[in-house]
């Protein structure tokens, strides 16, 4: 179906090259133009309403309607000082305040915040920090980075290399050398027959240690990991996984970088996913809900020992010669700071915890459906995995595109959710009401019934 001539959709097809989009399809059909939002709903140019069950891209914790406090924070900052940078000790007021606030909120004691504009940039920067750290310590060979299958850490050359999804690498000449891959901790999909969650977690940790020993611990700098793997299909680790993995990382002096880009700021029922799973990261990368998706900003939190090493090396070299024109942009920082204050005023963590059982019940209501293999969720994020055979967990042939087809039908019913192959991901705004979640599940239920 092609777009109405001269509509925004048609103009988008004519002029805009999108990311994560079939470019030819967009040119032929035009874009899906969203013109306004209200709570968890978005509206198109033609006036059709959709429940956005993924909060945009896992980011719009406050939904899509106008937020008077954020409008005011942005307006005030634009009036006072629309731009200043962070090079050579310069900084604008909200950037200082945001750094202080984030260090105060950190999941484990952290010393400093460093700002970027996106999750990909934050992870790229964290890799550079880890390399700089080991150079500073006179360990130039300790540089390899471990990431997991099905991880999502971004799309830039380095962060895209950490991402463990083949589609992100295909024909982009990724990954770059020096990235090691370890198990995805998804019990339902990768456990041996009869293996308990705890035994599976132990096996993942043993495999990690084998990898480290085979490569040589003296060559490995860090492991990057999301507390819950989001874009890989909302993969929730076994309860004992991190208790098994953490001591191995410590034993071989491998830094842990927790990628909290999705989990940070309440998503899993704590401020941070690291708290939900007992991770003790050396660095934390965050973005998305940091500004409720309303301004592009990301932050890296750095612990004291790592920071001191970076600091002293910057002193030796004269500068930490890495920074972005828009690092800690005052407008984005003002919006993020006010977002965090809104979360505190709403007691967002308590709110997520109160809503999570309702979300879980809504998700689990689909568990008995013949197409549904696993339903998994924590806090307000989850996935429903479709299978060909419930008993054996056998997947559909991916060419059948069962998940993407379901998502297309859901779209017709006014629901936006994300298929990761046949796992349908849900990540509604944190401020959704029970009634709104019921509406989301009602739309999904219709789509599931029409899927064969």
Q: Which two tokens stand for residue 223?
A: 């492991």
Q: Which stretch, 3-11, 149-157, 194-202, 267-275, contacts ligand PLP (CB under 6 A)? A: 149-157
The alpha carbon of residue 266 and the mean position of all alpha carbons in its chain are separated, in whole angstroms, by: 13
Q: Which two tokens stand for residue 203?
A: 């096996």
* Rounded least distance, CB 424 to ligand PLP, Å: 17
Q: Does 230 bind ligand PLP (CB under 6 A)?
A: yes
Which residues face 51 on adjacent strands? 41, 415
Specify the residue, 363 or 427, whose C-beta has the smaller distance to ligand PLP.
Answer: 427
Closest by Cα among 178, 254, 176 to 221: 254
Contact 380, 430 (CB under 8 A): yes
For residue 350, report the phi and psi dihedrals to the nearest 5 degrees: -65, -35
For residue 220, report the phi and psi dihedrals to the nearest 5 degrees: -110, 125
* Rounded least distance, CB 287 to ligand PLP, Å: 5
Q: Does 134 bind ligand PLP (CB under 6 A)?
A: no
Whose tokens are 């004519």? That residue is 14
User: Judged by CB under 6 A, which of 57, 108, 165, 401 binds ligand PLP?
Assistant: 57
Longest dimension (CA), the chain: 65
| Residue nearest to ligand PLP according to CB distances in the complex | 119
Q: Which of residues 153-192 bind ligand PLP (CB under 6 A)?
A: 153-154
Q: Does 289 bind ligand PLP (CB under 6 A)?
A: no
Distance between CA atoms of residues 428 and 426, nearest Å:
6
Number of residues that bind ligand PLP (CB under 6 A): 16
Q: Which of residues 208-227 bind ligand PLP (CB under 6 A)?
A: 226
Specify the residue, 259 or 422, whose C-beta has the smaller distance to ligand PLP.
Answer: 259
* Rounded least distance, CB 168 to ligand PLP, Å: 10
* Rounded least distance, CB 120 to ligand PLP, Å: 3
User: Judged by CB under 6 A, which of 118, 276, 309, 327 binds ligand PLP?
Assistant: 118
Specify the residue, 331 or 387, whose C-beta has the smaller distance to ligand PLP.
Answer: 331
Give me the DSSP letters along 52-113: ETTHHHHT-TT-SS--HHHHHHHHHHHHH-S----GGG---HHHHHHHHHHHHH-SS---EE
- 3-state SS, residue 418: strand
Q: Which stretch, 39-47, 126-134, 208-216, 259-267, contacts ligand PLP (CB under 6 A)? A: 259-267
Footprint of ligand PLP (CB under 6 A) = 57-58, 118-120, 123, 152-154, 226, 230-231, 259, 261-262, 287
């Amino acid at each position: 179906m092609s777009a109405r001539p001269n509509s925004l959709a048609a103009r988008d097809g004519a002029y805009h090259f999108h990311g994560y989009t079939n470019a030819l399809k967009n040119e032929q059909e035009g874009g899906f133009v969203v013109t306004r939002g209200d709570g968890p709903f978005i509206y198109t140019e033609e006036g059709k309403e959709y429940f956005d069950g993924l909060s945009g891209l896992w980011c719009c914790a406050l939904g899509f309607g106008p937020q008077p406090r954020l409008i005011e924070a942005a307006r005030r900052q634009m009036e006072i000082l629309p731009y200043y940078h962070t090079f050579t000790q310069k900084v604008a007021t909200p950037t200082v305040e945001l750094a202080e606030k984030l260090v105060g909120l950190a999941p484990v004691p952290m010393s400093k915040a460093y700002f970027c504009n996106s999750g990909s940039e934050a992870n790229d920067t964290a890799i550079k920090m880890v390399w700089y750290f080991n150079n500073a310590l006179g360990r130039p060979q300790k540089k390899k980075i471990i990431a997991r299958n099905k991880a999502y850490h971004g799309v830039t050359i380095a962060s895209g290399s950490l991402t463990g999804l083949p589609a992100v690498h295909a024909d982009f000449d990724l990954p770059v050398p020096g990235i090691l891959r370890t198990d995805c901790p998804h019990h339902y999909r990768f456990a041996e027959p009869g293996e308990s969650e705890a035994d599976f977690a132990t096996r993942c940790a043993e495999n990690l240690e084998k990898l480290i020993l085979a490569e040589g611990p003296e060559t490995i700098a860090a492991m990057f990991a999301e507390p819950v793997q989001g874009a890989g299909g909302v993969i929730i680790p076994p309860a004992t996984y991190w208790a098994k993995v953490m001591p191995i990382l410590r034993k071989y002096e491998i830094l842990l970088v927790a990628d909290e880009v999705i989990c940070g700021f309440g998503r899993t029922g704590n401020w941070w996913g690291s708290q939900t799973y007992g991770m003790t990261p050396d660095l934390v990368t965050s973005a998305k809900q940091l500004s409720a998706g309303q301004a592009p900003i990301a932050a890296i939190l750095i612990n004291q020992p790592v920071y001191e090493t970076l600091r002293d090396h910057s002193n030796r070299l004269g500068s930490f010669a890495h920074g972005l024109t828009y690092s800690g942009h005052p407008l984005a920082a003002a919006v993020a700071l006010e977002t965090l204050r809104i979360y505190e005023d709403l007691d967002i963590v308590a709110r997520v915890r109160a809503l999570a059982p309702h979300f879980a019940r809504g998700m689990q209501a689909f568990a008995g459906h013949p197409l549904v293999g696993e339903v998994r969720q924590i806090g307000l994020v989850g996935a429903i995995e479709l299978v060909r055979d419930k008993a054996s967990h056998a997947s559909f042939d991916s060419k059948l595109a069962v998940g993407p087809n379901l998502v297309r039908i859901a779209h017709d019913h006014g629901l936006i959710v994300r298929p990761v192959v046949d796992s349908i991901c849900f990540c509604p705004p944190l401020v959704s009401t029970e009634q709104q979640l019921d509406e989301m599940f009602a739309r999904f239920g219709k789509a599931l019934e029409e899927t064969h």
